[in-house]
Amino acid sequence: MLDTLLAALPGDLPAGVVITQHMPIGFTAPLAERFNRITSMPVNETKNGDIIETGRMLISMAGVHTVVSGVMGEKGSKTGRIVHSNSPPLHGVRPAVDTTFESAAQVYGKNIVSVILSGMGHDAGAGALAIKQAGGVSLICDEKDCLVYGMARSAITKNAVDKVLPLSKLAAEIERVIHGMEGNHV
């Protein structure tokens, strides 16, 4: 599912991409390597201090939360820096999508797009709401394309979703929304 979406995104997408998913320690670096073979953008596992850059994908390292902290970028505009946190698991997971979404919403405000695919539990709902309240856009994959719909349902129950789309249409919608935004994007 994630493979399909990432392969459909263009290499010249004018945004940085941060992917946070619930994975065991040791699996995210090989996942980044695998995604490098199917995407047009370079993909790396996050390192503490990474700068979120246009045209680059970062996969949240398993075992730590991915917090986005605001810093001034090279061109004098605000961007995000990855900070790994060992704070306790949230919703029983670390990294938690809510942690990434909520911190990114504070940095990027209206210039953020969140996408929730398949996943169990309640993680992502509060983060999607933080993004929506900051003026960003939250997209979710249609239930018929998901193996597990808990995370997406969590965002729906919080009225934090702007659009529900089939997997086959998500990449085009991400591009459309990003091209309609001003400034730095994530």
What is the reported pLDDT for 160?
97
**pLDDT > 70? residue 73:** no
Q: How many CA atoms lie within 13 A of 3 on its CB side?
A: 6
8 Å CB contact between 81 and 51: yes
The percentage of the chain sitting over the pLDDT mark of 70, rounded to a whole number, equals: 95
d(CA 64, CA 100): 11
Q: Largest Cα–Cα distance of the chain, in whole Å? A: 43
Closest to 109 measured CA to CA, from 130, 129, 136, 82: 136
pLDDT per position as a tens digit, 140-178: 999 999 999 999 999 999 999 999 999 999 999 999 999
Single pTM value for the model: 0.94
At 185, the pLDDT band (50, 70, 90 cuts) reads low
8 Å CB contact between 151 and 121: yes
| Domains with residue ranges and CATH for the chain | 2-177 (3.40.50.180)
pLDDT mean across residues, the chain: 94
What is the reported pLDDT for 75?
67
